[in-house]
Amino acid sequence: MQSFTEENYLKIIYHLSGTPDIAVQTNAIAERMQTKAASVTDMIKKLADKKLVDYVKYQGVKLTAPGRKTAVNIVRKHRLWEVFLVEKLNFKWDEVHDIAEQLEHINSAELIERLDEFLAFPKNDPHGDPIPDKNGRFDSYSFIKLTKLNKGDQGLIMGVSEHSSAFLKHLEKLGLTLGKQIEIMEITDFDGSVELYAENKKISVSREVAKHILIKT
Amino acid sequence: MQSFTEENYLKIIYHLSGTPDIAVQTNAIAERMQTKAASVTDMIKKLADKKLVDYVKYQGVKLTAPGRKTAVNIVRKHRLWEVFLVEKLNFKWDEVHDIAEQLEHINSAELIERLDEFLAFPKNDPHGDPIPDKNGRFDSYSFIKLTKLNKGDQGLIMGVSEHSSAFLKHLEKLGLTLGKQIEIMEITDFDGSVELYAENKKISVSREVAKHILIKT
DNA sequence: ATAATTTTTTAGATTTGTCTAAATTTTTAG
DNA sequence: CTAAAAATTTAGACAAATCTAAAAAATTAT
């Protein structure tokens, strides 16, 4: 059994390590944990003692198989709770992150199995992120960033890679929510902003916004 | 904002203090918290500094108005989550306590309001305990212990005052669940055990069990 | 009322997760 | 290739919540 804090470290290391996994740097973890590098070093040593990460001084950390399993399970819980909050309690997609951040640490395998069933085994969370099944497996999705599309390309909005409330509210206001069909009209040379059509409206998004919208063509 | 641990102390002091509230002893808290009296003294001082309890050395603690408000809110959350677990996720009444014990510390007023609404504003939890509304108000229920009844008395099972899985499973097996009508047939002189009729069956319960069954006559 | 028992508190130590400041290692630039 | 910069680790300290052992206060029993 891990502490609340250990779980958060594992989750962040998981998110930062990518696929295939790359050694994660101390500073990167510190920034995400809103803490100092020295504290991260301390915690990493503890996780290494517990065989949840492989750690070589000055060379970053990687999750071990058990560490990864724990992390994926936390991600599973987080995403299932987000579905619950949006589908059952009518929260908006920009309101659920902080609450799910707490709920993901509730410890009961039975609870999560039943929640999964209650929600009819959803495959994706309200932001389009895939939900691992109880064995930790999920489709590694292959959506591409809106910024990779060219003039004339069409596609469906399948997810977002940024979960801040400000960003999500902005998308909502523009009508750019999951499942929407879009077509690229123009990519501005000057600042890389993207002009697109969605639901018969012409919408302009900055490159910074476009970067975080994931598309299936 | 209180820590997880402070919240547990407040909740336990609340449960031990009764109505009208009586000063709660250090040892009683220690037993419920599965900790030592010395630790309780330390924590009580901390809660007193925060004005959540009134504390006089060697004379126990009482909740202040803010302390009571916090405690009642935790009780509200605990009981609402129990309803959710039983009504929506099909847990049995003896399986929900430990999970609700974790969920009660999730911090989001909005979440609880919406959960309450999702559950259609239940008045009682799966054990018959009243659920405080968002202002902390609830019917102080006036059910009596089964042991207070006399031969020939009839009544309805409205609640239980013991939440251990062993006790609840036992009642379930006997068919003595909430809402069941019962009639006292006999009270045994020797050990105080109670013979009763419920659903056309003759059932015998020990005095220890009877003590924890709450009846409306 | 005083002795014995029980309850409670104090003192000092421990663990967890954090911090600052200084030292060390690695990386980058010239 | 070496000097400067950046990243990381170590050392030592702190707050929270707990503990054990011993001291103090309150209760009870004779």
Q: What digits encode the pLDDT tens for the residues A64-76? A: 999 999 999 999 9
Question: Which residues from chain A sit within 8 angstroms of residue B94, using beta carbons?
Answer: none
A95-106: pLDDT as tens digits: 999 999 999 999
B23-51: pLDDT as tens digits: 999 999 999 999 999 999 999 999 999 99
The reported pLDDT for the residue numbered A112 is: 98
- Is B41 (CB) below 7 Å from strand C? yes
3-state secondary structure of A161: coil
Task: Give the dihedral of Cα atoms A74, A77, A80, A81; nearest 10 deg.
Answer: -110
The reported pLDDT for the residue numbered B153 is: 94
Cα distance between residue B115 and residue B57, in whole Å: 41
Q: How many other C-beta atoms are found inside a 10 Å radius of the C-beta of residue B116? A: 19
At A217, the pLDDT band (50, 70, 90 cuts) reads confident
3-state secondary structure of B91: coil
The reported pLDDT for the residue numbered A75 is: 96
Q: How many other C-beta atoms are found inside a 10 Å radius of the C-beta of residue A121? A: 11
Cis peptide, bond prior to residue A20, ω within 30 of zero: yes
**Interface mutation vs chain A, best among B90, B102, B113, most A CBs within 10 Å:** B102
3-state secondary structure of B4: helix
Question: B126, B74, B121: which is closest to B101 by C-alpha?
Answer: B74
Nearest residue in A to B118, CA atom: A89
Considering only CB atoms, A99 lies closest to which of B85, B91, B111, namely B111
The reported pLDDT for the residue numbered A18 is: 80
The reported pLDDT for the residue numbered B80 is: 98
Structure tokens at B144: 């009596």
At B210, the pLDDT band (50, 70, 90 cuts) reads very high
- The whole-angstrom distance between A99's CA and the closest CA on chain B is 7
* Contact pairs from chain A to chain B, CB under 8 Å: 38
Cα distance between residue A66 and residue A122, in whole Å: 25
Q: Is the pLDDT of residue B20 over 90?
A: no
DSSP-derived secondary structure letter, B86: I
B53-73: pLDDT as tens digits: 999 999 999 999 999 999 999
Considering only CB atoms, A108 lies closest to which of B88, B99, B111, namely B99
Considering only CB atoms, A107 lies closest to which of B102, B106, B110, namely B102
DSSP-derived secondary structure letter, A128: S
The reported pLDDT for the residue numbered A142 is: 81
Contacts of A9 (CB under 8 A, 6+ apart): A29, A33, A40, A43, A44, A47
> Do the Cβ atoms of B6 and B29 come closer than 8 Å?
no
Does the model's pTM come out above 0.85? Answer: yes
Burial string for B191-216 (b: 16+ CB within 10 Å, else e) reads eebbebebeeeebebeeebbbbbbbe
Q: Do B102 and A106 touch (CB under 8 A)?
A: yes
Average pLDDT over chain A reads 93
Question: Across residues A199-204, what is the average pLDDT?
Answer: 91
The reported pLDDT for the residue numbered A110 is: 97
Distances (CA, A) of A113 to A75, A108, A134, B82, B95: 14, 9, 8, 17, 14
